[in-house]
């Protein structure tokens, strides 16, 4: 056989008509109400992370190999504390790498502080009890409708007192549509 490479052109067999591509304008998709809330939290946020040795943890655990940090996360102006996190690691025979142990405790403190700071969704240091759900557009999209609430009140009033009728009525305003539907199905059966 001849091992010399030869140029090869593939030919299409048969007659193919030209293809016509029709491009239509995309239909506008209605934006979900949560998108506006997500947009408020996009961007760059500045904060101050202060690390210090956690003397309380060291005193509480009384271990010579204990590495303990406390991270205090504050707003950029330093006026409000967003979260406090604690990171602990122990230097032992199983965990003998000093630099890694220190980094793990340090990172753990930072992660804990950030986790504790999520109760401030706007990162300006002002807690919001409803986490943005007070917005009527979002609340109306996810919360139980008035029709569901009134039907649930009728069903709940038919329950005996010992089944927690008052508690169910008090929870109606905080129910989602899905929760209300499930409760309706349970009470009907």
CB 85 within 8 A of CB 110: yes
3-state SS assignment for residue 135: coil
Residue 180: partners with Cβ closer than 8 Å, 6 or more residues away: 144, 145, 148, 149, 152, 172
What letter would DSSP give residue 66? E
The whole-model pTM stands at 0.46
3-state SS assignment for residue 89: strand
In this predicted structure, what is the pLDDT of residue 118?
Answer: 74
pLDDT tens-digit profile of 119-128? Answer: 655 555 554 5
Phi first, then psi: give them for residue 87, nearest 5 degrees: -130, 130
In this predicted structure, what is the pLDDT of residue 68?
Answer: 93
- Averaged in consecutive runs of 10 residues, what is the pLDDT profile of the chain (189 residues)? 58 62 69 77 81 90 88 84 88 77 90 80 52 49 82 84 74 80 84
Residue 146: partners with Cβ closer than 8 Å, 6 or more residues away: none
In this predicted structure, what is the pLDDT of residue 3?
Answer: 62
Most distant CA pair in the chain: distance in Å? 95
How is domain 47-117 classified at the CATH fold level? Double Stranded RNA Binding Domain (3.30.160)
The domains of the chain are located at 47-117, 136-188
CB 148 within 8 A of CB 180: yes
pLDDT tens-digit profile of 150-170? Answer: 998 888 888 776 667 777 887
Phi first, then psi: give them for residue 7, nearest 5 degrees: -65, 140
Tokens of 126: 């002002």
3-state SS assignment for residue 153: helix
């Amino acid at each position: 056989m001849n091992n010399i490479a030869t140029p090869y052109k593939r030919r299409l067999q048969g007659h193919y008509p030209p293809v016509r591509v029709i491009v239509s304008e995309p239909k506008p998709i209605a934006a979900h109400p949560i998108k506006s809330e997500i947009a408020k939290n996009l961007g760059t946020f500045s904060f101050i992370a202060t690390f210090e040795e956690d003397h309380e943890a060291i005193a509480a655990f009384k271990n010579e190999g204990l590495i303990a940090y406390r991270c205090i996360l504050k707003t950029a102006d330093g006026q409000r504390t967003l979260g406090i996190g604690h990171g602990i690691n122990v230097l032992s025979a199983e965990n003998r790498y000093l630099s890694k142990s220190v980094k793990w405790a340090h990172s753990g403190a930072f992660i804990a502080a950030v986790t504790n700071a999520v109760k401030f969704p706007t990162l300006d240091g002002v807690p919001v009890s409803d986490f943005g759900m007070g917005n009527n557009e979002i609340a109306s999209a996810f919360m139980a409708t008035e029709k569901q609430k009134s039907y649930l009140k009728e069903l709940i009033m038919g329950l005996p007192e010992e089944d927690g009728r008052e508690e169910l009525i008090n929870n109606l305003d905080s129910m989602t549509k899905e929760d209300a539907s499930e409760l309706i199905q349970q009470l009907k059966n």
